[in-house]
């Protein structure tokens, strides 16, 4: 029987809605936060810096990742240094490449050597993890975000990829693997089973934690009741014909 109490993996909340972040910050199960420009735009954030400052006021004591958005590595570096200065719990998200498929490894090497805490994001392959392992400083904390959900969306099993990522990074004790973009709550337990350090999930996944270990027979009845309730609320009817009645 699965149990939240036995989980070793750290749960991070992924999102950009301030009220949700406040609620998640009050939950002792949530050990960190991540966001990205796509989630921020979806949440209606118009001022990147003001949003980040408010998030850091809400979450002063747990890791929080903010992403650069330049496509030019020189400007990306300047953005990274600015973001890193916002607080000691800040991790700077750097994409594994820019849009021209140029590797961010040289930039990651410089920033990591300078002591900037990073979250290298949008990783989907072993080779990308290995590229980062080759340049990360062993003295600087870093997250490696393997987008397991996107790997699964291609019909591939993400579990071996994440497991190999853990092996590649085993000599870097301050580098932690994030199982990113989970699609269902089961992914939390899959990631935990292989020793993944962190899983970051949106609210729709994290809200299902209350269902862990739920009695399946009772859950089945709740499902039947839901279908019945919604059919009645919608006012659906199925006129029964005489021929159908005669077939009884």
Catalytic positions:
93
CA 156/CA 161 separation, integer angstroms: 9
Contact 157, 179 (CB under 8 A): no
Which residue, 131, 108, 103, 127, is CA-closest to 119?
Answer: 108
DSSP designation for 241: P
CA 243/CA 248 separation, integer angstroms: 9
In sequence order, what are the residues at sequence separation of 6 or more whose Cβ sits closer than 8 angstroms to the Cβ of residue 248?
none
Show the tokens assigned to 115: 């002591």
Cα-trace Rg, the chain: 22
> What is the H or E stretch that residue 177 is in?
strand 175-179
CA 34/CA 71 separation, integer angstroms: 20
Which residue, 128, 166, 168, is CA-closest to 150?
Answer: 128
Cβ neighbour number for residue 8 with a 10 Å cutoff: 10
């Amino acid at each position: 029987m699965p149990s939240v109490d036995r989980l070793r993996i750290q749960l991070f909340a992924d999102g950009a809605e301030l009220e949700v972040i406040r609620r998640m910050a009050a939950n002792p199960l949530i050990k960190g936060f991540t966001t990205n420009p796509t989630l921020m735009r979806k949440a209606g954030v118009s001022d990147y810096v003001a949003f980040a400052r408010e998030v850091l006021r809400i979450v002063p004591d747990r890791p929080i990742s903010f992403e650069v958005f330049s496509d030019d590595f020189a400007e990306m570096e300047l953005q990274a240094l600015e973001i890193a200065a916002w607080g000691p719990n800040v991790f700077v998200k750097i994409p594994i490449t820019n849009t021209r498929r140029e590797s961010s490894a040289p930039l990651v090497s410089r920033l990591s050597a300078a002591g900037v805490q990073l979250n290298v994001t949008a990783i989907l392959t072993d080779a990308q993890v290995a590229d980062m392992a080759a340049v990360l400083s062993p003295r600087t904390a870093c997250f490696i975000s393997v987008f397991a959900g996107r790997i699964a969306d291609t019909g591939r099993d993400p579990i071996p990829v994440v497991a190999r990522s853990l092996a590649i990074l085993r000599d870097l004790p301050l580098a932690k693997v994030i199982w990113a973009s989970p699609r269902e709550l089961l992914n939390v337990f899959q990631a935990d089973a292989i020793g993944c350090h962190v899983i970051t999930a949106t609210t729709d996944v994290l809200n299902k934690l209350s269902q862990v270990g739920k009695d399946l027979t009772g859950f089945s009845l709740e499902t039947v009741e839901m279908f019945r309730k919604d059919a009645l609320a919608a006012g659906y009817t199925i006129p029964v014909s005489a021929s159908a009645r005669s077939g009884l």
